[in-house]
Structure 1
C-alpha cells in the first residue's frame, strides 16, 4: 500500500518547494523523482505505487511548475534548481539517494550529480533532455518586455492540452479526463506564465559532452522508441557520453514513459538498482 504525506512545502532561496513523500522503510533506498518541462509530480502518479513497494520516494515539483512557487526573484536556471533541490534533500536529512529524472528532470538530475556526485548512488534518466542549446538572445531579451508572460500563455494555448498529450504518448487511448485535468490544473492561474517567462530567460542549455563524460555515477537510460519530444538518437548519444550507462529502448512507447508503461519501467529500474546495490 502506498502511504503518502501530501502537501509538504518548504521555503528555499525565497521560493516554495512542494513535494510528496512516500515511506517504505528505514533501510530502503530513497528515490528522488524529478518531472519534465510543463509537468509536475502528477506525471509519476502511475509509477509511484510500483516504486513504493520497494523504495522510499520523494517526488518534487520543480519551480515554477506544479504546486511549487513562482517567485519573481528566484533564479530558474538548471544550475540553481539543481543546487536548491540538493539543499532540499539536506533539509530533509536525505543522504545517499537515487535520482530519477524524466525529460527536463533528467537534465536537473545530471546537474545535481555534477555538483555533488558523492550524494547519489545511481541515476535513472527517462527520455531525458540532452544537448539542447541555450535559449537564443532574442527570446531572452523579449522576456523582459512587459506582458511577455501573456505571449507564453498564448503560445501554449495554441495546441491545447489534449493535442500536447497526444504528442507525448504513443497510445492515445490512455488520454482520459483525469489525465487532461491533472496536467491542465497548474496552468489555470497566470502566475505560472510569469514564472515560465523567467524560466525561459534563465535557461542556460544542457550539459555539454565534456561535463557528461566526467559523470561516472551508474546511469540507466529508459527511452520510448517513438518519442517525438526527445528522440531516441538523443538517448543513444547520452549513452555514449555517460561512461557508466546502459540504454533500454521500449517499443510502442512515446515520451511520457512513467504514464504509458509504469510496470515495465519499474521492472527495469528495480533490476538496475538491485544490481547497483549488490
Structure 2
C-alpha cells in the first residue's frame, strides 16, 4: 500500500460527524454526538475513535458523547514535538475540553486511554465527574501487548517505520482479543489504513519507546466515583484496592480490545455508572 493509498483509505473514515480543531500545535480529529451530560471516550494505543462506534450508538440518546483520535493515532497523527509522555496527553485532553467549553465531564478510557483518564482525574479533579477505566494501564509492571513489544525491538523499529503490512495488523489484533471476538477484514483494513497514514508508524514507535514516569503512587488521590472494567484474561493490577470506593466489573472471555469485543456490555456498564436507565429496558 502506497502512502497515497493509505491516506485515502484513512480519509474514508471522515464522515459528517468528523470535526477538526488545533490543540497544542496538533490538528485533532474528533466527534461530538448526542445530547445530555458530556461523556469523553479515550481509545487505546494503536487504535482510534472508531473503536467506540458501537458503544457510542447505544449512548448518544442520553449523553453527549465526545471522542478524539489521540496524538500518534487515527486521523490526528503525530505530534510535531514527538512528545508522547502521559503528561503531554493529559495536558492536550484538558486543553481540548476547554476549547469545547466543557468544564466537567464523565470520562471513560480504554488501555492507554484509561491511563490518560485516571491521570486527568488526578491532575484536574474538578473536571472529572465520574471515571470508568477499561483494562487501563499505569502500573510499571503491566505486561505489554504484542504491537508495543514489536515497536520496542531495536531490530524491527527501522522496518516498522517504513512498512506496516496488513498481515502484521491482523496478527497483532488476533493476539489482543479473546475467544469471543472474530477479527474481521473490516477491522484489519481500518487499523492498517490508520497505521499506514503518513507519520503514524513513526509516531507509534516514538510513543512505544517513550520513557513514562511511574505515576501509580498518585492513583489513590482519585476522588471521582470510579468503575473498573476489566477482562478476565487481563491482569487487573491494583486499581480496585488503590482507588477509594471504586467498584470492579469483570467480563469473561474477552481480551484487550474491550470496547470492540464487548460493546453491549461496556455500554450497559457505562449507563449504570452514569445513573442512566438500561438501554435494553428502553427497547
Q: Within 5 Å, give how 1:1-278 maps onto structure 2.
A: 6-24=17-35, 28-132=36-140, 150-153=158-161, 160-171=168-179, 173-208=181-216, 210-227=217-234, 231-232=235-236, 234=237, 237-274=238-275
Contact 1:15 1:74 (8 Å CA) reproduced? no
Q: What is the total number of aligned residue pairs between the two structures?
A: 253
Shift of 1:23: 2.0
SS at match of 2:175: helix
> Within 1, Cα distance between the matches of 2:77 and 2:188?
22
What stretches of structure 2 of length at least 5 have no aligned partner?
A: 1-14, 143-151, 277-283
Cα RMSD for the two superposed structures: 2.7
Change (3 A) 1:263 1:189: closer
What stretches of structure 1 of length at least 5 have no aligned partner?
A: 135-142
Shift of 1:85: 0.8
Shift of 1:202: 3.6
Shift of 1:74: 4.5
Change (3 A) 1:131 1:34: same
- Runs of 4 or more consecutive aligned structure 1 residues displaced over 3 Å after TM superposition: 151-159, 200-203
Contact 2:166 2:192 (8 Å CA) reproduced? no
Contact 1:149 1:196 (8 Å CA) reproduced? no
Q: State the TM-score, normalized to the length of structure 1.
A: 0.82
> Within 1, Cα distance between the matches of 2:173 and 2:156?
25
